[in-house]
């Protein structure tokens, strides 16, 4: 029998790196690029670029909608819907 949680990721259009970004946003309670960059050891520019990729992949218009969609679809490890 297949692991049910694995099925959630089959339909996920995001890379592991983009999922880590969304998970960090949930854990830290912010989508601020500077805060997330410091937490993930990335540059704020990289965080902004990765968020742009998330928005495009999920066809949403804001970071909060992206986090909500990822949570609702069970794509975040510890924060699934």
Residue 8 has a pLDDT of: 60
Question: CA separation (Å) from 30 to 6, 9, 12, 44, 48?
Answer: 27, 24, 22, 13, 13
> Per CATH, which fold does 4-72 belong to?
Arc Repressor Mutant, subunit A (1.10.10)
Q: How confident is the model at residue 1 (pLDDT cuts 50, 70, 90)?
A: very low
Q: Where are the alpha helices (DSSP H) in 1-81?
A: 4-10, 16-28, 33-40, 44-58, 63-72
CA 75 to chain centre: 8
pLDDT of residue 78: 62
Report whether 36 contacts 28 (CB < 8 A): yes
| Tens digits of residue pLDDT in 22-57 | 999 999 999 999 999 999 999 999 999 999 999 999
How many other C-beta atoms lie within 10 A of the C-beta of residue 48?
A: 14
């Amino acid at each position: 029998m297949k692991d049910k949680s694995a099925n959630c990721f089959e339909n996920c259009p995001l890379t592991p790196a983009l999922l880590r970004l969304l998970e960090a946003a949930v854990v830290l309670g912010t989508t601020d690029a500077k805060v997330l960059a410091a937490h993930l050891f990335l540059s704020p520019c990289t965080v902004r670029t990765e968020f742009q990729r998330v928005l495009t992949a999920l066809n949403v218009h804001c970071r909060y909608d992206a986090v909500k969609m990822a949570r609702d679809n069970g794509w975040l490890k510890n924060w699934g819907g």
